[in-house]
Chains A and B, each alone.
Chain A
């Protein structure tokens, strides 16, 4: 049903329907009256003139438009109320066209939301739930938060030659405090190590895996601040860190320059950040085991991980209480990626199907090796039988 293409009303109808929707949304009495009148008009017209319909005209005149408009209007209202959170999520995406697109989409909306005070309820909720942006770092000026990364660090002391244990002798009553964590690579490894270590009875273990985190994007998760917090709050004597799988993305230096992975600028900036973490944690009475990334299934990804491993290795070598632990060969086979490895006599899947993460068996393989490495500094932890 509908007006003929020659009927001049056809051309007005789209605009009229939009008016009607606004009228309903605004609930203006006069407009509602007008709307009722128009509806009555249309019923009469439709009944009197049986005509051929076109796809487009029936869309504008049917309830479909109302349905679509309601849904989109609801989403738009939600987006307006939530604009700052959407913008914050977009900011966390890797630098690139996708991020630019979402930033360009949400920025005007966030501005509008702020002008209309529509961002207040969400901000209040964030304070209530503790999701408010971290202290001192404004959500959109995070670059200022990391400016101190570029500081120059004093030359580290040379490592002592004698292999004296760096950790005190733990006892059942006074166990060694161990913290294991990092990004999603640690999500299986952290609990595995914590479980194995606490099974010795001499270790009180904690773990923490923040998915999608790393050192490249402190705006997403601020590891340096988090490490400093853990170090003062629970004073772990052993830190086992495995992170970096998300770090091979564009990095923004303190001056605002964005560097792509594998460039000299990227390496320098990343090194700064590794230095900052290691310097925070490098303290007497403590051992930091920095676990390098294992070989990955794809070649390019492996290459970028190797670049990061070199940085960890070099920086660890310059600090007395930081050790680099190589997982590359342990979780590979003759320098090649292998999803299956011999674990205690049987072939088991050590990597998940994404070619990146560790399975439970893989995590346990790595945890056993790391625990043996910790035992060098705390001989009481050395396994008795094997």
Chain B
């Protein structure tokens, strides 16, 4: 079920009413949310529910077993064995569903050149929606138990809800048991919920997704990326900027809706975006873009590899490996490897070349303007690999930027204005945003409802006829 649909609105209204009616009954609301989440997931394909259920059961059992191997909170030899088993199981599931097709095709293609016919069958494995998200969440749960981050493993029902909770099931934020566990256990009163604030967040998310993202996709991004050779330099450059805005509007819009829906159910999710395009370094970009993935990669992959504790060369290896694998997490294609590599190399350069080292000074200065321009362009051009269908497609974009082609007048004032405004909006201070939200919250109920309803109508009127799926669902 996609968020910006009537189906979801009806589904959420029903779930919300039933949830608050049963909230006093500890077992009742948990069962309700689990059932609702599985219903939500089954909307794509009921068969995927078996996978979600299987992954949940396996990770829960592994978590329980891991907890029993701890000796007064300390890891034993068997704990390490269980951790290896957890990582292997989860990666095997992810590998099969996400990477097998890519691997088999590539392996056969490269070996057939040498005259070897690999007996690997070519299979099309359907990619279950959100598998990357819930697999990562399950893995981090067991590792957290071993590390002692969670004192007490979750009960089976709580863990099932943690794994399948529908606002974050298919595209994050990637939450942790240490964040959700206490929220599941505490008593909750509807009084503490800022209903209108949550509804406003959902509305803003819908606007970003349905209006901004779809508009830029059809107006410039899709046509230019489909035939880069057939467009002028200005069009290719603007399409590159527009895609940077599109992917931000799409994904952060999704996250806003997810966080807003969770708030209405009384759950607080961690923030996932913090104006990522205002950043002055790639290192800072990763603290602001898809923050829950960044911290996952940092805590479980980078630190697991040894982080920056070893000699310089090991730090380089760990940074590069983390970013390449982080790229590959987004999809089985060379384009994602290239995207991850660019970010990895940039992070290494920032760490080891003194002049590129992120500066602590933030204010407005010529040095910072230069830093901002460089960082933004590096991020935007790296996105070209992210969006392109193949490495060839990405290089066609860069070739077109160099050579230029016929102009199809896609560079319209409206597109330029939307892109410029979206980037400029990242510099609005959080205090201003908070003031605006407070001003809205201070209004009385009737104008609030009127504003929200009118906003929904605006989103629908300015949006396209059909809703394209969120970009991040495919990861």
Contact = CB atoms under 8 A, between A and B. Distances in A.
B64 interface: no
B99 interface: no
A195 B227 CA distance: 6
B190 A67 contact: yes
A77 B462 contact: no
Interface in A311-344: 339-340
A26 B108 CA distance: 70
A75 B199 CA distance: 10
B453 A55 contact: no
Given A58-B24, A339-B124, A346 B112 contact: yes
Nearest to A65: B20
B436 interface: no
A67 B20 contact: yes
Contacts of B226: 191, 195, 207
A65 B19 CA distance: 11
A345 B110 CA distance: 12
A32 B231 CA distance: 63
Contacts of B185: none
Interface in B427-475: 444-446, 449-450, 452-454, 456-458, 460-462, 465-466
Contacts of A234: none
A74 B452 contact: yes
Given A71-B199, A78-B457, A121-B457, A55 B22 contact: yes
Contacts of A346: 108-109, 112
Interface in A37-73: 53, 55-56, 58-59, 62-68, 70-73
Interface of A: 24-27, 53, 55-56, 58-59, 62-68, 70-75, 77-78, 80-82, 85-86, 89, 102, 121-122, 125-126, 129, 131, 191, 194-195, 198-199, 207, 211-212, 339-340, 345-349, 351, 353, 360
Secondary structure dominating the interface of A: helix
A85 B13 contact: no
B25 interface: yes
A56 B195 CA distance: 21
A123 B264 CA distance: 31
Given A24-B445, A82-B456, A353-B127, A89 B6 contact: yes
Interface in B24-73: 24-25, 28
A261 to B, nearest CB: 22
Nearest to B22: A55
Contact of B453 (A78, A194, A339, A353): A78
Given A64-B21, A70-B196, A72-B13, A129 B126 contact: no
A121 B127 CA distance: 42
Given A63-B190, A191-B227, A71 B124 contact: no
B17 interface: yes
Contacts of B21: 55-56, 59, 64
A349 B460 contact: no
Given A75-B9, A353-B125, A129 B461 contact: yes
A349 B124 contact: yes
A3 to B, nearest CB: 16
A351 B230 CA distance: 26
A71 B457 contact: no
B189 A75 contact: no
B129 to A, nearest CB: 12
A71 B13 CA distance: 7
Given A24-B445, A129-B461, A347-B122, A59 B199 contact: no
B17 A72 contact: yes
Given A78-B453, A129-B462, A351-B124, 8 more contacts: A25-B445, A55-B28, A56-B21, A72-B13, A77-B450, A122-B457, A131-B465, A346-B109
A351 B123 CA distance: 11
Nearest to B196: A70
